[in-house]
Amino acid sequence: MFQAWRTALFGIYGFRNFTRQSFVEHSKKYKEEDMLIPMEGKNCVVTGANSGIGYATAAGLASRGANVHLVCRNRERGEAALAKIKSSTGNPNVFLEICDVSSMSDIKSFVSRVSSRGEPVHVLVNNAGILNNERVVTPEGLEASFAVNGVGTFALTELMLPLLKKAAPDARVITISSGGMYSAPLYNDFQFDERNFDGSRQYAQDKRLQVALTEWWSEVHGKDGVGFYSMHPGWADTPGVATSLPGFRQRLGDNLRTSEEGADTVVWLCLQPKDKLTSGGFYFDRAEAPKHLHLAATAGSHAHISTLTRRLLSLSTISS
């Protein structure tokens, strides 16, 4: 019953704030100069960069002169995205990295390759994410969407920290959450081992986990010169939405944002001076946003994050 209440609150709040029309209204207050900051010499890593918001983010960073590494699972799609971004931006410093973020072995191999170059990483954008409507288990024994959205995001960020610290005090991690997290608190049952699987609820709690992790990272590593920010893009028309939520996409139609509109705040967070941002904060449409809806009773669940991070360390096997 209470879950239905949370879902209803989220739906009302979303229709008021997350549509394309809301982006148009909010953008009337945007400052053009905020997006004119160059990024030459900055090394940026964007996961899930071959389509949707990840692609739009990578293209936005490349257009400002950054050295952009596209982290993609599929080589063919990654190569197509790479060629398109190089052609559209004229930036030759765009590179393809093959890594399945649901695989801990892939993540470790990828970070090892990047670390061997000895270069700092100024920006890590955790964009890769999936919503499965049926429960699928990876070869490493993890529920597949949680493997990407939860364990993979955690493991990649933790392993990249030494490279991010090399770029301090300008380094930052931006994790792309979802407004759907408003409908879910943190659960101990990460992988729906104890409940009938519900893909949308799994995704929502994964995205809540990302917001709580951002707070935790900021508290633990805030003195190391790395800023941590989570955000959500509103309701955007991406390939992931088309595949996983076709009914939602059909109902919203032209009210969905474009991928570029969804990525706008991600690029904005990459560009802004850190003294204008709140590490650990949650952002939406270029402004800090609430992490919890009034009367949804999700705030207290964040107190469990320290316990949950210990489980994530164990599941990711990066502490061994």
User: Which tokens is 70 given?
Assistant: 């596209």
Which DSSP symbol is given to 216? H
CB 54 within 8 A of CB 148: no
Nearest by Cα to 123 from 267, 14, 233: 267
Q: Rounded to an integer, what distance in angstroms lies between the CA atom of residue 288 and that of residue 121?
A: 24
Distance separating the N- and C-terminal Cα atoms of the chain: 41
User: Which tokens is 174 given?
Assistant: 């931006």
Q: Which residues contact 122 (CB under 8 A, 6 or more apart)?
A: 42, 43, 44, 164, 167, 170, 171, 172
CB 53 within 8 A of CB 235: no
Active centre residues (catalytic): 203
